[in-house]
Amino acid sequence: MSEPTILLHIMDGVATITLNRPDKLNALTEDMHGELERALDRIEIDRAIRAVLLTGAGRAFCAGQDLGDRAMVTEGDLIDLGDTLERFYNPLIRRLTRLERPVVCAVNGVAAGAGASLALACDIVLAARSARFVQAFANIGLVPDSGGTWHLPRLVGLARALGITLLAEPITAEQAEAWGLIWRAVDDDRLSDEVNQLMQRLSTRATYGLGLTKRALRLSFNHSLDQQLELERDLQRQAGHTEDYREGVAAFLARREPTFRGR
């Protein structure tokens, strides 16, 4: 039997999704999208999962769409790339950004095309210092997709977003950190330890509140200040009814560490 192209490992409240086609730099195929969908189905319904990690096997994170996959091959006819996005990539990006649990991306190597957009759709991105982000679309006459044109200008501003996409030059992890494209660049041999510490921390926090925080920040880009103040009021009302809020305040007053259960 062939190796699964997506690995899902669940332990101690952390679900780790590993893109697993290392010989093709984890380039995404229709089959992989199917496996990714099933992994997310599982994660979405399991409330014991309190944080999600996305990473790649081997020397790359993800080289984007597999350019040899059946979704991309023309055989003389013009094919509908929009259909591929509609069926596979857009639902994936929507699900990751809406998942009410923190999603961390460990960029262990090159992230190109939709692979770079996928990383940017995650909530916290750690990258190995040797990793590169390549908006490769311009090299093959395409437009950045999978939320790239939405996330890039919001993260780094229009001038850098235009430079990154029109030139398609590899951006180093350090540059990505300096520009605010990612959370942190870390030494290659420290990536695994740093990611484990981060996951341990996130998976023992007040999960419900973190999910609402993520929702508020992501919605803020489409809101006026008044709309956002109203949203904060509503979400705070919900957060204030959680067991974790009670525990957080009790622990603060008793000068002890809180034990959050994610409820």
**86-124 b/e (C-beta count within 10 Å ≥ 16 → b):** eebbeebbebbbebebbbbbbbbbbbbbbbbbbbbbbbb
Scan for tokens 């780790």, then name that residue: 16
Site for ligand LHQ in 32-91 (CB under 6 A): 63-68, 81, 84-85, 89
Beta bridge pairs of residue 65 = 28
CB of 256 to ligand LHQ, least distance (A): 49
- 209 membership: H or E segment, kind and range: helix 207-220
Alpha carbon 33 to chain centroid distance?
A: 15
Considering CB under 6 A, how many residues would be counted as binding ligand LHQ?
24
Q: Does 112 bind ligand LHQ (CB under 6 A)?
A: yes
Between strands 110-112 and 60-62, the pairing is parallel
| Minimum CB distance to ligand LHQ smaller for 63 or for 191 | 63
- Per CB under 6 A, contacts with ligand LHQ among 205-234 are none
Which of these segments, 45-53, 109-117, 201-209, 249-257, binds ligand LHQ (CB under 6 A)? 109-117
Count of beta carbons in the 10 Å neighbourhood of residue 23: 9
Query: In the complex with ligand LHQ, which residue's Cβ is closer, 64 or 262?
Result: 64
Of 145, 135, 32, 139, nearest in space to 83 by CA: 145
Span 6-25, contacts to ligand LHQ by CB under 6 A: 24-25
In angstroms, what is the minimal distance from the CB of 145 to ligand LHQ?
5
**Contact residues for ligand LHQ (CB under 6 A)?**
24-25, 27, 63-68, 81, 84-85, 89, 110, 112-114, 134, 136-137, 139-140, 142, 145
